[in-house]
Amino acid sequence: MRLPKIAAATAVVLLAAACGDGSGDDRPDGLTVWVMGTSQDALVEYFDGVEARFQESSPDTDVHVEFIPWPDAQESITNALAGGDAPDVIEIGNDQVAGWASQGALLDITDQVSGWDAASEMDQNALEYGTYNGVQYGVPWYSGVRTLYYRADWLGELGHEPPTTWDELVTVAEDIQEEYGVSGFGAPTDFTNGIASFIWSNGGEIAVQNGEEWEGRLTDPATVEAVEFYASLSTDGISPQGYVGENELVPLADMANGELGMYIDGGWALASMEEQAQDPAVLEDIAAAPIPGADGIAPAFAGGSALSVFSTTQQPDLAFELLTVMGDQEGGKGFADAAGFFPAYPELLESDEYQEDPNRAAAATQMQNTRFFPTTPRWTAADQDNKILPAAVLEIVRGGDAEEVLAEADEQLTAILNEPVE
């Protein structure tokens, strides 16, 4: 089935008017890139630059970019596998690499990556996250992490620095509530990314791989303690009851309107805050800091996207060449800056550009302490489809015994992660 050419914000962007010059070269007139999201002026300008760089070595090959809305990604890729229009290079969520690789959508690029100098400069954990069964199917394009948003003016008036530990988090939250009459911290229960940071910071795990089998770790004492603490933020009145059963979009609106002191979210939340703030002046008092952990900065899930070569491309070598232009330090930083994320190159995050801006500095610091979810196609089924961890937290908040709830959740998690990949 031919994918519709979506008008306006999600239109196909044709970055060059001229096609091949008829010289007889076997290179194609164009390569197609699928980018997830919607078209923006900054992104179109970025791809103009990508095409110009790419055409230095392939002057007769245009770069065609199609923006695919994230909600349509599953159907679009499935249709491409079934014989519909397909890209040569594709962006996918970094937690989706294993899933699409297992379905045959992505090309094995192990040899090409091993010979690409830029790969050694990337975040090696993020690069490893682009593998499945020991095969490289994707490389990190950009990264994004969550941080702690807080009311800097309130903390200043209270004489507090941003909290760096759980105890400090509770103290600051209680003082905010007492002084300003709003909840001090938001802890939504449908928030795996946030809950995971609490687990990891306490030395716990969600699941680990033992040989070819996955083993849930939700009954580990460190994990139980972390989940109990996170749940207690709701049961003890630190976090509003209105966030029980909700995701981070609910506290976002409250943060933007002066109804909350602190909560955890990513840099992408700032644009939403601007849209929802009834008084834009409030946003000037919102700052960011690394996520507080049990005894110091907590690890955060390193979200972001990977670049892959689609399995049906007729020009795999040329497609990988285009991938390198998009994904080297220049290309990776260019896209990250245009889209509001961070490049997947640790040394770039140490520059003044990231360290001197307070909000970017918080995320750049957080980027030095990241973790990843289980590298298995079954993680989506465990988390997005069955919401195993959020459901357990919700049940505990509603009065369930933590050890019993997590024991049952652990059995379910282990079973799902070990189901055969179709």
Q: Quote the pLDDT of residue 372.
A: 92
Q: How many domains does the chain have?
A: 2
CA–CA separation, 316 vs 71, rounded Å? Answer: 27
Q: Quote the pLDDT of residue 26.
A: 58
Q: Quote the pLDDT of residue 20.
A: 36
Do the domain assignments include residue 212? yes
Q: Do 26 and 101 have their domain in common? A: yes
Do the domain assignments include residue 422? no
- Report angle CA 352, 355, 358 to the nearest 5 degrees: 130
Q: Do 363 and 250 have their domain in common? A: no
Q: Quote the pLDDT of residue 14.
A: 43
Q: Do 30 and 174 have their domain in common? A: no
Q: Do 196 and 140 have their domain in common? A: no
Expressed as residue numbers, the domain containing 338 is 8-144+302-370
248: how many CB neighbours lie within 10 A of its CB? 21
Q: Do 268 and 384 have their domain in common? A: yes
Q: Do 413 and 393 have their domain in common? A: yes
Give 30's contacts (C-beta < 8 A, 6+ positions apart).
19, 61, 62, 63, 64
Do the domain assignments include residue 397? yes
Q: Do 260 and 393 have their domain in common? A: yes
Q: Do 175 and 258 have their domain in common? A: yes
Q: Could you tell me the pTM of the whole model?
A: 0.83
65 sits in the region (left: phi over 0; alpha: psi -120 to 50; else beta) called beta
Do the domain assignments include residue 2? no
Q: Quote the pLDDT of residue 19.
A: 35
Q: pLDDT (tens digit, 0 to 9) for every residue of the chain, 422 residues total? A: 222 222 233 344 444 333 333 333 455 789 999 999 989 899 999 999 999 999 999 999 999 999 999 889 999 999 999 998 999 999 999 999 999 999 999 999 999 999 999 999 999 999 999 999 999 999 999 998 999 999 999 999 999 999 999 999 999 999 999 999 999 999 999 999 999 999 999 999 999 999 989 999 999 999 999 999 999 999 999 999 999 999 999 999 999 999 999 999 998 888 889 999 999 999 999 999 999 999 999 999 988 999 999 999 999 999 999 999 999 999 999 999 998 889 999 999 888 888 888 778 999 899 889 999 999 999 989 998 999 999 999 999 999 999 999 999 999 999 999 999 86
Q: Quote the pLDDT of residue 351.
A: 87
CATH number at residue 225: 3.40.190.10
Q: Do 78 and 162 have their domain in common? A: no
Residue 304: name the closest of 66, 140, 124, 90 by CA: 140
C-beta of residue 390 within 8 angstroms of C-beta of residue 105: no
Q: Do 166 and 312 have their domain in common? A: no
Q: Quote the pLDDT of residue 267.
A: 83
Q: Do 28 and 92 have their domain in common? A: yes
Residues in the chain: 422
Q: Do 257 and 318 have their domain in common? A: no
